[in-house]
């Protein structure tokens, strides 16, 4: 019998993608479509950029504090990018899941491996662009990077994309609205699993089967 809870425990979702595939925009659209879905806020040792709010965009912490968190096992995953650390609080994610919320981690494939090891039941989604040409068009369309950076991003994107087979689901972002629907369908389908439905509708199912239990 499933554990009797007021609501099912939330699911942890890992969402990864190469730069330019549209991951951030897709996740933002999903958060507007579905209830009980939250985006995990990472910890970082880098300085806030203009407009960034502590606790909303990142939890900004000092390097010593971050290293203490690693030593204490407080992070689900962490990585050093250039001269800064980034990581995900284990306690914060588990608390949100225990409250019945689905939690999204926007992390790369290396972080995804760490999270799968810590929480094997997590679900993972990889976002792919429809083609290299379209990826290049999107990167150039930003108008923020010079040619050297664009070429480096393309190489990194190709390398990152080779890891898509490690994920449970793959969404190809050819058409944005379709990709949002595909991403949403993953979350909805997981909520319809028998275990989750048995918990969510425990009273109704108990009443429905009361007669059958009595006549058995």
- Collapsing DSSP to helix, strand or coil, 35 comes out as coil
pLDDT by 10s per residue, the chain, length 216: 445 566 899 999 999 999 889 999 999 999 999 999 999 999 999 999 999 999 999 999 999 999 999 999 999 999 998 789 999 999 999 999 999 999 999 999 999 999 999 999 999 999 999 999 998 888 888 766 788 888 988 999 999 999 999 999 999 999 999 999 999 999 999 999 999 999 999 999 999 999 776 665
Give me the CATH topology for the region 12-215: Rossmann fold (3.40.50)
* Whole-number pLDDT of residue 146: 82
Three-state DSSP at 197 gives helix
Please provide residue 59's backbone torsions phi and psi, each rounded to the nearest 5 degrees: -95, 110
Closest CA to 78 of 49, 55, 107, 53: 107
Q: Residue 56 phi/psi, 5° resolution?
A: -105, -50
CB 109 within 8 A of CB 166: yes
DSSP state string for 127-173: EE-S-HHHHHHHHHHT--S-HHHHHHHHHHHHHHHTTGGGSSEEEE-
3: three-class secondary structure by DSSP: coil
């Amino acid at each position: 019998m499933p554990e009797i809870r007021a609501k099912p425990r939330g699911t942890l979702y890992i969402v990864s993608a190469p730069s330019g595939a549209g991951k951030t925009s897709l996740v933002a659209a999903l958060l507007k479509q579905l209830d009980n879905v939250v985006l995990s806020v990472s910890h970082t040792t880098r300085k806030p950029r203009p407009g960034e709010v502590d606790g909303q965009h990142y939890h900004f912490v000092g390097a010593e504090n971050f290293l203490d968190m690693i030593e204490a096992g407080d992070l689900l995953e962490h990585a050093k990018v250039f001269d800064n650390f980034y990581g995900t609080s284990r306690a914060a994610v588990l608390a949100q899941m225990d409250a019945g919320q689905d939690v999204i981690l926007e992390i790369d494939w290396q972080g995804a491996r760490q999270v799968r090891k810590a929480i094997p039941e997590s679900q993972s989604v990889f976002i792919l662009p429809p083609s290299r040409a379209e990826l290049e068009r999107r990167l150039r369309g930003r108008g923020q990077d010079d040619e050297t950076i664009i070429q480096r991003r393309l190489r990194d994107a190709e390398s990152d994309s080779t890891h898509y087979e490690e994920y449970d689901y793959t969404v190809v972002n050819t058409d944005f609205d379709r990709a949002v629907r595909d991403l949403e369908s993953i979350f909805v389908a997981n909520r319809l699993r028998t275990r989750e439905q048995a918990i969510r509708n425990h009273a109704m199912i108990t009443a429905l089967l009361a007669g059958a239990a009595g006549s058995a």
